[in-house]
Amino acid sequence: MKITIIAGARPNFMKIAPIIKAIKKAQAAGKQMEYRLVHTGQHYDTKMSGTFFEQLGIPEPDINLECGGGTQAEQTAAIMLKFEKELLAHRPDLVLVVGDVTSTMACTITAKKLCVDTAHVEAGIRSGDMTMPEEVNRIVTDSICDLFFTTSEGANAQLKNNGIDDKKIHFVGNTMIDTLLQNLDRIKKPDFWDTNQLKEDQYFLVTLHRPSNVDDPEKLASILSAIEEASMDFPVVFPVHPRTRQIIDQFKLNKKKMLMIDPQGYLEFMFLVKNAKGIITDSGGITEEATVLHIPCLTMRNSTERPETITLGTNELIGDDIHKLKPGIQKIIDGKWKKGTIPPFWDGKTSERIVHILGNVDALKNAGPVKVKSDLSA
């Protein structure tokens, strides 16, 4: 089987790394399986892309489509135009997409237009928030894919509710957790750790990048002030996303008690996650890693596509209400946060399950036709 693997943005890199490793393991065992790695260039600088490839042992892409920048529509169109040429030149048996970024949706549409089968890793997750570009990407991708690899029973139920045939749905677990567990013994202190006299379990970690939290400078200023005040004497480490950095610099929103640093490599960032007293974020993936590492996590969003991090894990939603930050952070400081458990199949073996299924060509041939109902239907 010939597989084209798509990676475009930072969250994708942690998801494809263990899949490629599992494919190589299958090849060594004599499995007839080839892969071609396509980087769309959605995240293209060293801090958001290159460092992750190097640290996670991801091979150089066979091609980089160089589709960084532009609006959502411009980037989608650019990816589709260039990926079509890639598929015409190197037609695979299957296109494998991961996650919910623009590249995921754009490459799925392009492949299906050329009658190439597609598989979606992390299928079926939904936030219910159509203002999030990722939610649109998820719905479109899942409505036309051929194989669905899921992270939770909730995702399975979502796909079945949309009319996806059971034979196409495979509950395999979470590839992000594969990467985490495979690299836990490699995580390392960031360069700034010692110079700032940081200590384990004695700081809060913050990540903010969603437009709803960072594009309005007044709102962002209020959030940062609330975090600074609520964290009391504990330092706050804040790896700043490029879009957030623009607002902070433009409106001079730096905080004395916050250590605002550049985006970190995977190994350095996981060190910060593992050793934090608590995390304040608006990300989705970090809530999964925090759950597995048993780190308290406050998510500044009104909905989540990863409810298992709340029902089973260490995550709690507080929406965009800054008044909920102080009691939440105080609860962490007081040691009264819930302990949480690890969701099923988040055991580091997800990628092996995926590759085993992909190695069975009948998984595609025998899957019945899909009768899809829209997520938006009543």
Q: Which residues are catalytic?
A: 209
Residue 236: half-sphere exposure toward Cβ, Cα within 13 Å: 26
E strand or H helix at 329: helix 325-333
For residues 148 and 142, the answer to whether their CB atoms sit within 8 Å is yes
Which pair of tokens denotes residue 135?
């939610």
24 burial via Cβ count (<10 Å: 0-12, 13-18, 19+): middle
User: CA-to-CA distance for 292 and 307, rounded, in angstroms?
Assistant: 14
Residues in the chain: 378
Q: Tell me the one-letter amino acid at 318.
A: I
User: CA-to-CA distance for 97 and 375, rounded, in angstroms?
Assistant: 20
Which pair of tokens denotes residue 376?
């938006």
- Point out which residues pair with 207 in neighbouring strands: 281
Which of 293, 283, 285 is CA-nearest to residue 342? 293
- C-alpha angle 293/295/298, rounded to 5°? 135
Which pair of tokens denotes residue 240?
């700043």
Q: Is 298 helix (H, G, I), strand (E, B) or coil?
A: strand
For residue 17, give every residue at least 6 positions away whose Cβ sits within 8 Å of its Cβ, in sequence order, or none. 56, 57, 58, 179
Q: Tell me the one-letter amino acid at 372.
A: V
- Point out which residues pair with 316 in neighbouring strands: 298
For residues 361 and 1, the answer to whether their CB atoms sit within 8 Å is yes
User: CA-to-CA distance for 39 and 65, rounded, in angstroms?
Assistant: 6
Backbone conformation region of residue 34, classed left if phi is above 0, alpha if psi is from -120 to 50, else beta: beta
Q: Is 171 helix (H, G, I), strand (E, B) or coil?
A: strand
User: CA-to-CA distance for 4 and 312, rounded, in angstroms?
Assistant: 34
Q: Is 30 helix (H, G, I), strand (E, B) or coil?
A: coil
